[in-house]
């Protein structure tokens, strides 16, 4: 057999071996990413298979090969960084009241499995550090990487950045928060990838001047081709949420057609399957 043919055979064998080492979820993600540029963020790490904002669901969405896992960061009474969307414990845990009233030791006594008690009887509220450890370890083992979409609910920039840098996730991850927080984040780390919200087109120039954003979180209901074009001309990316009743195939299609850079969803596999089936 000629040398070139041998090289082709070896290359195909390598691809097949790589595919065999992947889970079905990873193969689906690889197929999606091979054909589509639209990035995907798993909202609150949602996989549909485990409680939101827990290590259990983060493991599931890592296996799905998402580009970003969105997490909500809050601060405990003793200044530890933890992951919880709501300001209170009532909806997703067996606790009640503001999470900021409890120490980390007290938080770790709670179960973060409301509605999932049978499947996940002992799931706890994770710390930011536990989450970053999980993602960093995953990225070391895989060719494709997943980063963090940090919704900075109740946290100061300095301790947040310290942990992000410790696990080498600071450079590629995205930071979302109110404008005052992002302004402070910019002072702490001018290279951080800041993402303010954009609800009105006429807010754009003011926010660019103040925050030097990497991306805008554009309100889906305000999204149109001209706005996407205007933002891209500023060398800024367009991210958006398609959540709740918006989380449907027609909007996945529209996002791609408009040239949106990332959509945030609660249904990662639905996005993959829509595009892989069309």
| 15 — pLDDT class (breaks 50, 70, 90) | very low
Q: Is the pLDDT of residue 9 over 70?
A: no
CB 195 within 8 A of CB 214: yes
CB 60 within 8 A of CB 69: no
CB 217 within 8 A of CB 241: yes
| 8 — pLDDT class (breaks 50, 70, 90) | low
Q: pTM for the whole thing?
A: 0.91
Q: What is the domain class of 23-79+127-276 according to CATH?
A: alpha beta
Q: What separation in angstroms does the CA of 93 have from each of 42, 43, 89, 254?
A: 21, 18, 6, 36
Per residue in 148-184, pLDDT tens?
Answer: 999 999 999 999 999 999 999 999 999 999 999 999 9
Alpha carbon distance 179, 200 (integer Å)? 14
Q: What pLDDT sits at residue 206? A: 98
Q: What stretch of H or E contains 82?
A: strand 81-83
* Residue 166 DSSP code: H
| 144 — pLDDT class (breaks 50, 70, 90) | confident
| 63 — pLDDT class (breaks 50, 70, 90) | very high
* Residue 98 DSSP code: B
Query: Among 15-24, 70-79, 80-89, 106-115, which is the least confidently predicted range?
Result: 15-24
The total of other beta-carbon atoms located within 10 Å of residue 274's CB is 17
- Per-chain mean pLDDT for the chain: 94
Q: What pLDDT sits at residue 143? A: 84
CA dihedral sign, ordered 163, 164, 165, 168: positive
- Determine the Cα angle at 227 with ends 204 and 277, to 5°: 130
What share of the chain has pLDDT > 90, as a percent?
Answer: 90
Cα within 13 Å of Cα(137), Cβ side: 8
Q: What pLDDT sits at residue 161? A: 98
Provide the residue count of the chain: 278
Maximum CA extent, the chain: 72
């Amino acid at each position: 057999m000629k040398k070139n043919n041998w090289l082709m055979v070896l290359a195909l064998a390598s691809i097949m071996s790589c595919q065999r080492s992947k889970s079905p979820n990873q193969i689906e993600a690889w197929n999606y990413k091979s054909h589509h540029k639209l990035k995907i963020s798993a909202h609150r790490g949602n996989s549909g298979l485990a409680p939101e904002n827990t290590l259990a669901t983060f493991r599931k969405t890592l296996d799905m090969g998402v580009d970003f896992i969105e997490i909500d960061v809050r601060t405990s009474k003793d200044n530890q960084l933890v992951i919880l969307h709501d300001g209170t414990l009532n909806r997703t845990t067996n606790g009640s009241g503001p999470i900021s009233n409890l120490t980390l030791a007290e938080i770790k006594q709670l179960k973060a499995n409301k509605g999932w008690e049978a499947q996940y009887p002992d799931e706890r509220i994770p710390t930011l550090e536990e989450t970053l450890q999980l993602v960093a370890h995953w990225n070391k083992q895989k060719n494709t990487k997943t980063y963090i979409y940090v919704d900075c609910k109740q946290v100061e920039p300095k301790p947040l950045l310290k942990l992000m840098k410790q696990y080498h996730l600071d450079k590629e991850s995205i930071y979302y928060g109110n404008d005052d927080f992002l302004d402070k984040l910019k002072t702490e780390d001018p290279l951080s990838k800041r993402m303010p919200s954009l609800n009105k087109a006429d807010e754009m120039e003011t926010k660019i001047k103040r925050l030097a954003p990497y991306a805008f979180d554009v309100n889906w209901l305000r999204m149109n081709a001209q706005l996407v074009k205007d933002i891209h001309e500023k060398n800024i990316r367009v991210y958006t949420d398609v959540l709740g009743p918006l989380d449907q195939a027609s909007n996945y299609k529209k996002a791609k057609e408009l040239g949106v850079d990332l959509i945030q969803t609660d249904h990662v596999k639905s996005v993959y399957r829509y595009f892989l089936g069309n």
